[in-house]
Amino acid sequence: MGGMSHPANWYPDPFGRFELRYFDGANWTEHVNNGGTAAVDPPTPGPGTAVPVGDQRADQVQRQVQQQAGVAGAWQGGGTIFTEPVLVVNQKAKIIEINNEYAIYDQHGRQLGAVRQVGQSAAKKALRVLTSMDQYMTHKLQLVDIQGNVLLALTRPAKVMKSKIIVTNGAGAEVGTIVQENMIGKIRFGLMVGGQRVGSINAENWRAWNFSIRDAQEQEVARITKTWEGLVKTMFTSADNYVIQIHFQLPEPLLSLVVASAVSVDTALKQDQRGFN
């Protein structure tokens, strides 16, 4: 597990094929689980389990940051997803979106990691193509670094009206939740840890393209800006691109929730575009 010692237990599947995989204290085993259903899967990398590689050139990413999002003069980062002041999240452009896949870059266009969707059955994939029912299904995402280590796992349970995202760390421990707080007007999410509200995500217009992320004292600590690749591409593919600017190094668990917000706001909101947004 990335050179770290962990006790035997169920953890997010590092190969991305299932939600959970059993670690026996020394090695990953073949025992896996999806939504409470046990299965057997050899603990080896396979096709489709590698870190999704982005399709953006460095100059395209830099243009998003500087021209489209207007971000300049950010502080010097540490080269990882949790230590960079600017994260660029680009969904891989596909005509029909089956699996959510996003590449994550720094402000210079270097890929730091990715977001991948796990635990989808063939039936669920078919429903995503044929119907709009996927908004009522459970979605599970993993945020991974460039080596494929699971940094955060994000679960959006099947919803009726309001979205909720449960955030766990790479060891499977809950970090907090992102909870939709309203259904009318500008969308707002609360960042919750142990029942306490530690921050919020606030849409700045009714279409919810740009967000201000604030701490418990209502100070803005980060921004999410949607960038556009052109009307034609936007009309004919389902790709979404975002620039996240973190104003200063944040403490945990707020930092993990802010990063989780940045990479999951699309999953939380996108299925709702047919509705009230």
Confidence at residue 259, expressed as pLDDT on a 0 to 100 scale: 93
Q: How, if at all, do strands 210-215 and 220-227 pair?
A: antiparallel
Q: 154 vs 25, 58, 73, 141, CA distance in Å? A: 24, 28, 31, 5
Contacts of 54 (CB under 8 A, 6+ apart): 90, 92, 103, 105, 111, 114
> Is the pLDDT assigned to residue 251 strictly greater than 90?
yes
Kindly give the residue spans of alpha helices, DSSP state H, lying in the chain: 58-63, 122-130, 231-236, 254-270
How far apart CA 226 and CA 154 sit, in angstroms, is 21
Question: In the structure, what pLDDT confidence band is assigned to residue 217 with cuts at 50, 70 and 90?
Answer: very high
Higher pLDDT residue, 50 or 144?
144
Of 39-53, 62-76, 243-257, the least confident: 39-53
Burial of 269 (0-12, 13-18, 19+ CB in 10 A): buried
Question: In the structure, what pLDDT confidence band is assigned to residue 99 with cuts at 50, 70 and 90?
Answer: low
> Is the pLDDT assigned to residue 131 strictly greater than 50?
no
How far apart CA 140 and CA 154 sit, in angstroms, is 6
Confidence at residue 98, expressed as pLDDT on a 0 to 100 scale: 45
**Distance from the Cα of residue 121 to its chain's centroid:** 20
Confidence at residue 247, expressed as pLDDT on a 0 to 100 scale: 95
How far apart CA 43 and CA 70 sit, in angstroms, is 44
Question: In the structure, what pLDDT confidence band is assigned to residue 272 with cuts at 50, 70 and 90?
Answer: very low
- Residue type, position 252, single letter: E
Higher pLDDT residue, 163 or 2?
163
> Is the pLDDT assigned to residue 261 strictly greater than 80?
yes
Question: 64 phi and psi, to 5 degrees?
Answer: -60, -45
Confidence at residue 101, expressed as pLDDT on a 0 to 100 scale: 79
For 51, other C-beta atoms within 10 Å of its C-beta total 19
Kindly give the residue spans of alpha helices, DSSP state H, lying in 96-213: 122-130
Of the ranges 21-25, 104-108, 213-217, the best mean pLDDT one: 213-217
Is the separation of the CB atoms in 65 and 71 below 8 Å?
yes
Question: In the structure, what pLDDT confidence band is assigned to residue 143 with cuts at 50, 70 and 90?
Answer: very high
What are 83's two structure tokens? Answer: 């230590």
Identify the structural domains of the chain with CATH numbers, from first to last.
1-47 (no CATH), 58-274 (2.40.160.200)
Interval 176-209: pLDDT, tens = 999 999 878 888 999 999 999 999 999 887 665 7
What are 273's two structure tokens? Answer: 């575009």
Higher pLDDT residue, 129 or 45?
45
Question: In the structure, what pLDDT confidence band is assigned to residue 50 with cuts at 50, 70 and 90?
Answer: low
> Is the pLDDT assigned to residue 225 strictly greater than 80?
yes
> Is the pLDDT assigned to residue 235 strictly greater than 90?
no
Higher pLDDT residue, 67 or 199?
199
Specify the DSSP class assigned to residue 126: H
Question: In the structure, what pLDDT confidence band is assigned to residue 250 with cuts at 50, 70 and 90?
Answer: very high
Burial of 133 (0-12, 13-18, 19+ CB in 10 A): exposed
Contacts of 65 (CB under 8 A, 6+ apart): 71, 86, 88, 107, 243
Contacts of 100 (CB under 8 A, 6+ apart): 91, 115, 116, 117, 139, 141, 266, 267
- CA triple 109-155-260, angle to 5 deg: 35
Of the ranges 159-163, 180-184, 241-245, the best mean pLDDT one: 241-245
**Mean pLDDT, rounded, of the chain:** 79
Share of the chain above pLDDT 70, in %: 75
